[in-house]
Structure formats: C-alpha cells, structure tokens
Amino acid sequence: QVRLVESGGGSVQAGGSLRLSCAASGSILSINSMGWYRQAPGKERELVATVASGAYTNYADFVKGRFTISRDNAKNTVYLQMNSLKPEDTAVYYCNAVITTFYVVGDYWGQGTRVTVSS
C-alpha cells in the first residue's frame, strides 16, 4: 500500500506565500515523478507543476515565476513553494506521484489540501 499525505494548505491574502508538502509512504521501491495538481470549484483538475526523478521540472504557465516545486528523495517528499499568490490560485491542491512498488507502477493521489487566497 502507498499513501500520500499533504500538508500546508490554508488561507492567505493576495501577495502572500504558502508552502505545501506531500510525503509518500508505504511499500515504495522507487518514485518516478511527483507533482501538484489543483481543482477550483466548478473547474477541471489541472496540472500545476511536476518534478521528475532526475529533478527536471515542469510548470503550468500560470504559475511560472511564482511557484517552485522541489523534492527530497531521502524523505519521499515533494514541496510546492507558492509566492505572490492570487485569488485565482484558490483551489484544492492534490499531490500526485508515480510510484513503483514491488508489484506494479502506480499513479497515486493525496487527499487534497485547500488553499484560499483572498483579495
């Protein structure tokens, strides 16, 4: 079993910062990519940023220059530093990881953490 646990969401005013964390645990052989997605009310879930095992990063255009994704392989943890937050960043943020266990390569999701940005 693999579990992803997110933390760090909350409420902040526009221009503020938050840092999200997501720790993976369980029968993990290796973690391929890790990333963050978000879903605003009434909208589809969308990619925010990903980081591959080789530390290659990919960002959605709407967060470039404001958000930074990083990972700590020793802790099986991915972070999302969010600066210059805007009201349109309000959403539930989900951690995602592609993980190899002893049996399969699976796509795993966290339970989500809410981020609210007020103007």
pLDDT digit string, tens, across residues 75-114: 999 999 999 999 999 999 999 999 999 879 999 999 999 9
The mean pLDDT value for 43-54 works out to 95
Q: Distance between the two ends of the chain, CA-based, in angstroms?
A: 41
pLDDT digit string, tens, across residues 11-40: 999 999 999 999 999 999 999 999 999 999
Measuring CA to CA, which residue among 5, 3, 23, 6 is closest to residue 106?
A: 3
Band the pLDDT of 55: cuts 50, 70, 90: confident
Position 35 scores a pLDDT of 97
Query: Can you tell me the distance from the alpha carbon of 51 to that of 74, in angstroms, rounded to the nearest whole number?
Result: 15
